[in-house]
């Protein structure tokens, strides 16, 4: 069975460079014969994490749903903007809420543990969102215990980076994207074997 991969863009903006990159990642994953699903965090609206709200009402239903989405996929590709050299609040808040959802008897962060993630970013700036990915890598690996593959995609000068067919103009970035896609599928396949 093809590994199931979840693609999560970290932007809701109309015309988002990262949603565009996430669409390309989704296409490449499908071409590489992964069973791929792309979601929008707009469909999983969440309040800002608040410990009092959690104590009163538990984790919101959308956080529980997002955790279920992670659980039924063998790998995750996150494509995110960079905000002030770090992870945008939309994405960090979603991860924080997911990290608080626990079934009875389940170990903390079980849904993240050893689950493979790949990271990509697009930015109008020259770093291509690199610093956001460094921060996100810390959150996922050190904070949540996930396995973040070393290959990552950064698209600088994003407003001019795509052609009319929504492919990337730069061959090297395209090659990196394909390498990251292959590495994620391989890691997800191994995760699928272990989970069996
Ligand atoms: C609050 C804020 C902080 C930002 N900080 C950075 C930054 O540190 N580095 C960067 O490359 N771009 C930064 N940007 C610009 C974003 O990369 C740009 O808005 C990008 O288009 C957002 O991604 P999207 O097109 O997928 O929505 C920032 C934008 C906002 C709104």
Tell how far the Cα of 20 is from the centroid of ligand 1, in angstroms.
Answer: 15
Torsion of CA 181, 7, 169, 149, to 10 degrees: -40
Under 8 Å CB-to-CB from 26, ≥6 apart: which residues?
Answer: 7, 36, 38
pTM above 0.95, yes or no: yes
Q: Which of 62, 57, 60 is nearest to 39 (CA)?
A: 62
Each residue of 68-101: pLDDT tens digit? Answer: 999 999 999 999 999 999 999 999 999 999 999 9
Torsion-angle region of 89 (φ positive above 0: left; ψ -120 to 50: alpha; else: beta): alpha
Residue with tokens 């103009």, as numbered in its chain: 169
* Residue 84: both structure tokens together: 């002030």
Tell me the per-residue pLDDT of 13-51, one tens digit each, with 9 for 90 and over. 999 999 999 999 999 999 999 999 999 999 999 999 999
Asked if residue 123 has pLDDT above 90, the reply is: yes
Instruction: Round to whole Å and give the CA distance between 90 and 149.
Output: 22
Q: Is 80 in the pocket of ligand 1 (CB under 6 A)?
A: no
Nearest residue to 90 (alpha-carbon basis) of 193, 133, 82, 107: 82
11 lines ligand 1 (CB under 6 A): yes
How far does residue 116's CA lie from ligand 1's centre (Å)?
26
End-to-end Cα distance, the chain? 12
Residue 48 buriedness (CB in 10 A; 0-12 / 13-18 / 19+): exposed
Could you tell me the distance, in angstroms and rounded to a whole number, from the CA of residue 5 to the centre of ligand 1?
Answer: 26
Residue ranges with strand state E in 109-155: 116-122, 147-155
CA–CA separation, 15 and 159 (whole Å)? 10
Inform me whether the pLDDT recorded for 152 exceeds 90: yes
**Residues 168, 177 contacting (CB under 8 angstroms):** yes
Q: Does residue 162 have its Cβ closer than 6 Å to ligand 1? A: no
């Amino acid at each position: 069975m093809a590994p199931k991969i979840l693609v999560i863009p970290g932007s809701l903006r109309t015309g988002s460079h990262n949603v565009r990159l996430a669409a390309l990642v989704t296409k490449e994953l499908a071409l590489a014969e992964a069973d791929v699903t792309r979601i929008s965090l707009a469909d999983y609206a969440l309040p800002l994490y608040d410990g009092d709200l959690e104590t009163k009402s538990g984790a919101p239903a959308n956080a529980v749903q997002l955790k279920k989405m992670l659980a039924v996929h063998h790998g995750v590709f996150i494509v995110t903007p960079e905000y002030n050299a770090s992870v945008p609040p939309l994405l960090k808040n979603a991860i924080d809420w997911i990290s608080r959802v626990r079934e009875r008897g389940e170990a903390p962060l079980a849904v993240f543990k050893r689950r493979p993630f790949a990271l990509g970013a697009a930015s109008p700036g020259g770093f291509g969102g690199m610093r956001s990915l460094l921060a996100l890598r810390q959150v996922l690996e050190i904070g949540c215990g996930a396995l973040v593959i070393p290959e990552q995609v950064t698209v600088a000068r994003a407003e001019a980076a795509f052609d009319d067919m929504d492919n990337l103009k730069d061959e090297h970035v395209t090659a990196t994207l394909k390498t990251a896609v292959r590495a994620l599928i391989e890691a997800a396949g191994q995760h699928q074997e272990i989970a069996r």
